[in-house]
Structure 1
């Protein structure tokens, strides 16, 4: 193989695709089932929850991805007949503490965020609870149906003759040859490749420890619940007090999410269920009479400031990182994977790669 991608979430799947379309022979290895971890569990808002609170490094990737997502969805639908459902609903932020910062950020970045009269919000979203005093809106924010997105990416890779996907195949370590990474060790035997991309989400830090490298990517559990309502129940995404409601086209409503440091435990809890149901009713009172049709947990790849690691690992030729996206893996995936491919192929990068480079950030000499 030219490239072996470790991790079958949206970052790994899209990394494999971006490299395979250039003719590279690509393998992808996933410990469980591709796309069923954090990528499946998330909400799919195609924006950081509070974009103005992030560094310019996150903003740069988010802007590129937001503009690219509709094209990606069209491409995947045409190729696989699976619709990722990029659904432009807009997003309302309610009763923020930092409205002024948000509006200043939007003006600086040229993003269409504006203050909206609450009476207009109530007319636009009749199901919204009364009592909120202020609102900001970004009308062009979409959400993507992330389980369908990863299913479409998986199907697209299956159609490519130069791609092989290995599922239920856990990676236990890397193969070193004179300081160069030449493959990985797995439960099904060694796999060799000219280049290895680590895109294992919350598990990336554990795998880097096998090389004696401390990569500060740790699991952060998030629990969500799902309701089924009428298709026109919620026409826009709403966010207040750190919790959000996301409508799907068919009337499903996602409510999320918790932030828990619980190592690799994905157990759902009654405490989180009650908390999420309370948040749901605070936002949308009619949900008090609706049945929860789903409750699950996923593990985000937590990282400092939520800035992903994208680029080569110094001192370990052949090893590349694309991990540590924290709460924004789905948001940042298209840009992150394009940037990785640019760097690996020696192309002009879409954004300045310096903020994401493992060199320096991991205390390793370049």
Structure 2
């Protein structure tokens, strides 16, 4: 089976990986360089931030993220020479209003990644001695990890580009689908070139709404800008991830600390702003005052594919027999990515699914359209 995947972010790349493992042939298209949109720009926390604030369907997929990335890293690293750098730092959350609900969530669902404990100041200092004195307690998630997403993407792209069953076509905008009845015969690029395949997959993230008119659907996915800062500290200086008021600090193995993130509805504008940079800087130094002693080495912004509930659209698109979806992951595309790709592969190849698939079905898009009409 030959499958065309439109979009080479983490969702498209992992979908390709799942399908070639089953013997499929894959062509991946991207409007720019592969892996350079939201997937590259995010922080790489392998859990939803405050999982109790999300629908269960988000957490059902996210709980597989860490173990699946560990398995893929073990398989790909010998071939690519690139380590994803899955860093098991644990996380401290300082939001007092979330302490009780976080601890209750842990007891109710018994998900290993979400095991947490309440720490008072003395125990907190033993876990992370750099935390500001203003925080006298926290909840601590010892099993949470982060993945260094630029390295993850580089490994995926390197592996796929050298694979005999994969073609990657970059800097190519797919203009339209060419239909016959309820079947896509080919896709057409902006320079009128046609590509045929047996099945087609949309993994276009924040750009997914652009298909609404052609498909006669209302696709409620829009870009939400998130801005980030990068500090450089000594290696292993910051021992844990930290979070307060939706702002987070993520230590990398080499001493870089990723800080974010903002939420701005600015269309497709990816330009960082000075005011947002200052807001992030202030929030981060409030958590870890000593960060002020270290240089900011980079700032950037990316576009999240916002969707109404954060539950992605995974499965067959309405009324088109060979078109599939894997988009709309909002803030959790990296941690849901491996399980989302596996679920789509299982649906496409009519295999048993790892989770109940109905809640993710793109058939929901038909009800969106009826609401608009």
Normalising by structure 1, report the TM-score. Answer: 0.97
- Aligned match of 1:121: 124
Identify unmatched segments of 5+ residues in structure 2: none
2:346 corresponds, among 342, 358, 362, to: 342
Aligned residues: 365
1:324 corresponds, among 303, 309, 328, to: 328
Q: Distance in 2 between matches of 1:360 and 1:40?
A: 28
Q: Distance in 1 between matches of 2:368 and 2:27?
A: 28
Determine if contact 1:245/1:256 at 8 Å carries over to the other structure: yes
1:269 corresponds, among 265, 269, 273, to: 273
Q: Distance in 1 between matches of 2:245 and 2:36?
A: 28
Greater displacement, 169-178 / 342-351: 169-178
Following TM superposition, the consecutive aligned residue runs of length 4 or more in structure 1 with deviations greater than 3 angstroms are none
Determine if contact 1:95/1:134 at 8 Å carries over to the other structure: no
Q: Distance in 1 between matches of 2:221 and 2:366?
A: 11
- Aligned match of 2:39: 39
Q: Does 1:359 align with 2:359?
A: no
The alpha carbon displacement at 1:232 in A equals 2.4
- Aligned match of 1:165: 168
1:302 corresponds, among 303, 306, 326, to: 306
The alpha carbon displacement at 1:134 in A equals 2.7
Structure 1's 96 and 191: CA in aligned 2 closer, same or farther, altered over 3 A? Answer: farther
1:244 corresponds, among 224, 248, 259, to: 248
Q: Distance in 2 between matches of 1:364 and 1:65?
A: 29
Q: Deviations over 1:9-54 (max 9, x none)?
A: 0000010111111111110000000100000000000000111111
The alignment partner of 1:304 has SS state of coil
Q: Distance in 1 between matches of 2:121 and 2:343?
A: 40
Q: Distance in 1 between matches of 2:268 and 2:218?
A: 18
The alpha carbon displacement at 1:207 in A equals 2.4
- Aligned match of 2:262: 258
- Aligned match of 2:49: 49
The alignment partner of 1:341 has SS state of helix
1:235 corresponds, among 214, 239, 251, to: 239
Q: Deviations over 1:176-234 (max 9, x none)?
A: 11121223221341111111100011001112333221111110000000000011220
- Aligned match of 2:154: 151
- Aligned match of 2:97: 97
Q: Distance in 1 between matches of 2:295 and 2:214?
A: 45
- Aligned match of 1:293: 297
The alignment partner of 2:224 has SS state of strand
The alpha carbon displacement at 1:66 in A equals 2.7
Q: Compute the RMSD of aligned alpha carbons.
A: 1.4
- Aligned match of 2:18: 18
The alignment partner of 1:210 has SS state of helix
Q: Distance in 1 between matches of 2:229 and 2:361?
A: 36
Determine if contact 1:173/1:210 at 8 Å carries over to the other structure: yes
Q: Distance in 2 between matches of 1:361 and 1:167?
A: 28
Structure 1's 96 and 209: CA in aligned 2 closer, same or farther, altered over 3 A? Answer: farther
- Aligned match of 1:212: 216
The alpha carbon displacement at 1:361 in A equals 4.3
Determine if contact 1:209/1:215 at 8 Å carries over to the other structure: no
Normalising by structure 2, report the TM-score. Answer: 0.95
Q: Deviations over 1:261-303 (max 9, x none)?
A: 1010101111111111111211111122222100000000000
